[in-house]
Amino acid sequence: MSKNLVIVESPAKAKTIEKYLGKDFTVLSSIGHIRGIVKKTKDGTPPIDVKHDFKTQYEVDPEKRKVTAELKKAVKAADTVWLATDEDREGEAIAWHLCEVLKLDPKTTKRIVFHEITKPAIEEAVKNPRTVDMNLVQAQQARQILDRIVGFELSPVVWQKVPGGKSAGRVQSPAVRLLVEREREIAAFEGSATFKVTAIFQVGGDTLKAELPQRFDTEKAAQDFLESLRGATFSVGNVTTSPGSRNPAAPFTTSTLQQEANSRLGFGAKATMASAQKLYQEGKITYMRTDSVNLSGQAIAAATNYIKSTFGDNYSLVRKFKTKSAGAQEAHEAIRPTDIRLERASSNEYDQKLYDLIRRRTLASQMAPAKLEKTTITITISSGKRVFEAKGEVILFDGFLKVYGVNRKEDAILPSVSIGDNLQLDSAEARQVFARSPARYTEGSLVKKLEDLGIGRPSTYATIINTVQVRGYAEKGENEGQPRDVIVLSLENDTVKRNVVQEKTGSDRGKLVPTASGQVVSDFLVNHFDQVVDYGFTAEVEKEFDDIASGTLPRNKMLREFYDPFHALVEQSGDIKRSEVAQARELGKDPKTGQPIYARFGRFGPMLQKGDQEGESKPTFAPLPAGAKLETVTLDQALVMFKLPREVGTTEDGQVIKSNIGRFGPYIVVGKTFVSIKPLDPFTITEAEAREKYAEKLKKDAEKFIAEFDGGIQVLNGRYGPYVTDGTKNAKIPKDVDPKSITLETAQKMLAEAPAAKKRPFRRSAKRSTKK
């Protein structure tokens, strides 16, 4: 063992650093956090004792015991220990936990930080060690403790009071609220339509496309205008040109990287951070969790030299950007390449795309602005006072656009014309255009909104967006939109024609759409726990974390001021009625029975209910029609759904086949065997189609079940090959063993030798269909 032991949190990072430190240093990894807050204490005291200054008990993660033992052994053999975990609060907390577990004194143990994994940066860090910054550690603890308290005290309330509610989080809940409020803005949006008029002219063999600046409110007004163009003459009334310029954006912060990677590359926040982490650990980019737009003098000089040698002196313009965020968590650099000359940093396609984006953005930030010339041609009409306008833009000098082109189509280049030139009208068109409703959030635009509101920090954006989807409160849309009719009036050969064409509207593909569960939970929290979902309050909490990190606010004072009013709301929650939270809406009465029909939220999502819980007979339930919402579903739509289950026919051996819709979509049931019939409709599926689906299911089940023994032990064909299972434990069957030859004794022996199944987070599971 070397005299010096360096501990980092990532094996990839350890491998890169070890190349630079030489034989006197050994670099080991903790593989992330080694300790977490205990779930249950041995002495019965709370894991977080709110009555005694929020004293928190930690335990080593069972999966990290082997790593911890190796680190303890290495610490004993080393003369000097260096803690080189990431330089943010999370990294500082890992360093402190390592001190606690490895019996190191945080007041004297050497702590080194660097924002890029390069030889000069590592050597400089070793020359200037510090100790563990307990202010940063306490800021991380405050976040962790608050998140744990909110989750542990509020989630059980959500389980009890909200049908289908899974959990509530301190930062995820405001994010869900943003999605829900935007969805309601879209639903409340009152669309309007106008008519936009465009025309195509011929001038000297060139084509000139122009547009009428005004729009018409009615089809008649648009038609009257087109009629007025018949026989009219057109000429150039004016030509104006004006210089313009475009400046590059600042280098990337975590937030802007996630936004731009989403917009340009289609990467989600989680995928972006995963790729950035790999690039950082391989020494290709600087630290990827940062609020700063600053570049070091060395980085600016390197970029300047590269730009001048590659593109010329006129492309270079040194810029120093200032970070706008007053509460920026990290005071280091923006995200940039460690070597601006390196064009290819990874053999992985996704990592390389992200690296290229970071590199081009960094170069662009130190380049000259693009110089443009904007031109407007005004076209007069002999038959009236209105004018057409043709607008174009010419790039005179591309500047930074040489490496970071704009993410849109360039405006048209206009033909050369002079005032007084006559133009020949080719065609004119008045097209119906519709006002756009507010756009749903993408992952990138949600990150921007959270940042604008001061909610979350660089290390939390990706986690927030991932959590709201994992919890089932939002999902990525897949709808390509619905067709709608568009009126098009066209003037050709002095004749106005009317056509109706179709276009798609309302696509939510790739957008974050709140689920019905997300809407109910969000409404519940807004009504009863406003503190948790209030944007201003959540942002203020983030600021207080910053104050703890800077040493200006005591940790326990901040925690107490949050906890006491929050806990009071939890204690008062017993009076909340679950039936009110379910948002039941009476649609009317069933004409046949007179029973009320409700649209409400149930355990597995939105549904319809016929009859009351308190009535003599039990209520019956049905799913919502496809595309319908609790707020908009009608009585007529609901009555149709209560025609399910529908008797489709019989199987070849005379068993009744019924169709219905369940949690996972349309299905048929024969006895106790359930068969999905997607994409068929349960209202129209024929007996022949149902028999075919049923036969396919029986065949699949027969292929799956190889053998079955007493005691519930089975030999099955699985996704990854044949295996033995007793329902709780699985054992893979070796390739050289015929699964049909497995005996009960062999199966029992294989299960006894198989490792115990890992415990998974609780989730409700669907019942498996039984074998016939």
Phi then psi for residue 194, to 5 deg, are -130, 175
Nearest to 85 by CA among 289, 256, 299: 289
Rounded to 10 degrees, the C-alpha dihedral 86/88/92/98 comes to -30
Instruction: Give the model confidence (pLDDT) of 97-139 as tens digits.
Output: 999 999 999 999 999 999 899 999 999 999 999 999 999 999 9
Question: Which phi and psi (to 5°) does residue 11 adopt?
Answer: -60, -40
d(CA 273, CA 259): 12
**HSE (side-chain half, CA atoms, 13 Å) at 509:** 8
Q: Between helices 65-77 and 89-101, what is the axis angle to 10°?
A: 70
Beta strand extents in 72-190 (DSSP E only)? 80-83, 110-111
Nearest CA to 228 out of 13, 413, 517, 489 is that of 489
Residue 590: how many other CB atoms lie within 10 Å: 17
Paired strand residues for 55: 49
Other residues' Cβ atoms within 10 Å of the Cβ of residue 81 = 19
pLDDT band at 77 (very low <50, low <70, confident <90, very high): very high
Stretch among 101-110, 290-299, 327-336, 582-591 having the lowest mean pLDDT? 327-336
pLDDT band at 757 (very low <50, low <70, confident <90, very high): low
pLDDT at 762: 36
Residues 121, 568: Cα–Cα separation, whole Å: 50
Which of these, 80, 113, 78, 77, lies nearest to 95 by C-alpha position? 113
Q: What percent of the chain has pLDDT over 90?
A: 62
Of residues 427 and 627, the one with the higher pLDDT is 427
Is the torsion defined by CA of 738, 742, 746, 751 positive or negative?
positive
| 3-state class (DSSP) for residue 388 | strand
Question: Kind and range of the H or E element at 513?
Answer: strand 512-514
Residue 759 has pLDDT above 60, yes or no: no
Number of neighbours of residue 726 by Cβ within 10 angstroms: 16
The residue whose two tokens read 């799956």 is 704
Check whether 765 has a pLDDT greater than 70. Answer: no
DSSP letter, residue 213:
S
Return the pLDDT at 129. Answer: 95
Residue 295 has pLDDT above 60, yes or no: yes
pTM (two decimals): 0.80
Distance CA 61, CA 38 (A): 9
* Banded model confidence at residue 535, pLDDT cuts 50, 70, 90: very high
- Say if residues 292 and 323 touch (Cβ distance below 8 Å): yes
Q: CA 331 to CA 289: how far, in whole Å?
A: 11
Q: What percent of the chain has pLDDT over 70?
A: 95
User: What DSSP character marks residue 380?
Assistant: E
- Between 409 and 427, the higher pLDDT residue: 427
CA distance 672 to 663: 17
User: Using 50, 70 and 90 to split pLDDT, how confident is the model at 569?
Assistant: very high
Report residue 199's pLDDT band, with 50, 70 and 90 as the boundaries: very high
| Mean pLDDT of the residues in the chain | 89
The token duo for 643 is 């025609």
Average pLDDT for residues 733-743, to the nearest whole number? 88
Say what the pLDDT of residue 413 is: 72
Provide the terminal-to-terminal Cα distance of the chain, rounded to the nearest Å.
63
**Helix (H, G, I), strand (E, B), or coil: what is residue 69?**
helix
The DSSP H or E segment spanning 375 is strand 370-381
The answer to whether residue 411 scores a pLDDT higher than 70 is no
Each residue's pLDDT tens digit, 43-59: 888 999 999 999 999 99
pLDDT at 763: 36
Q: Which helix (H) or strand (E) holds 378?
A: strand 370-381
Residues 6+ apart with CB under 8 A from 673: 694, 697, 698, 769, 770, 772
* CA proximity to 193, closest of 212, 161, 219, 169: 219
Residue 534, CA distances (Å) to 177, 178, 528 in order = 9, 10, 12
| Residue from 20, 58, 280, 287 carrying the catalytic annotation | 287
- Segment (H or E) for 387: strand 387-397
Instruction: To the nearest 10°, report the CA torsion of 517, 471, 160, 638.
Output: 20
Assign residue 465 a region (left: φ > 0; alpha: ψ between -120 and 50; beta: otherwise): alpha
What burial class does residue 416 get, using C-beta atoms within 10 Å of its C-beta: 0-12 exposed, 13-18 middle, 19+ buried?
A: exposed
Check if 20 is active-site: no
Q: Say how many C-beta atoms besides its own lie within 10 A of residue 66's C-beta.
A: 9
pLDDT in tens, 609-652: 988 877 677 888 888 887 788 778 899 999 989 888 899 999 99
Q: What is the mean pLDDT of residues 219-247?
A: 94
Continuous H helices in 433-515: 443-453, 461-470
Closest CA to 84 of 61, 116, 120: 116
- Measured between alpha carbons, how far is 268 from 475 in angstroms, rounded to an integer? 13
Contact 743, 736 (CB under 8 A): no
Q: How far apart are CA 364 and CA 372, in angstroms?
A: 17
- 451-507, pLDDT tens digit by residue? 999 998 888 899 999 999 998 899 998 888 889 999 999 998 889 999 999 999 888
Residue with the two structure tokens 């039990």:
618
Kindly state the tokens that stand for 629: 């919402």
pLDDT tens digits for 326-374?
555 444 789 999 999 999 999 999 999 999 999 999 999 999 999 999 9
* Cβ count within 10 A of residue 470: 13
**How would DSSP label each residue in 665-715?**
EEEEEETTEEEE-TTS-TTT--HHHHHHHHHHHHHHHHHHEEEE-GGG-EE
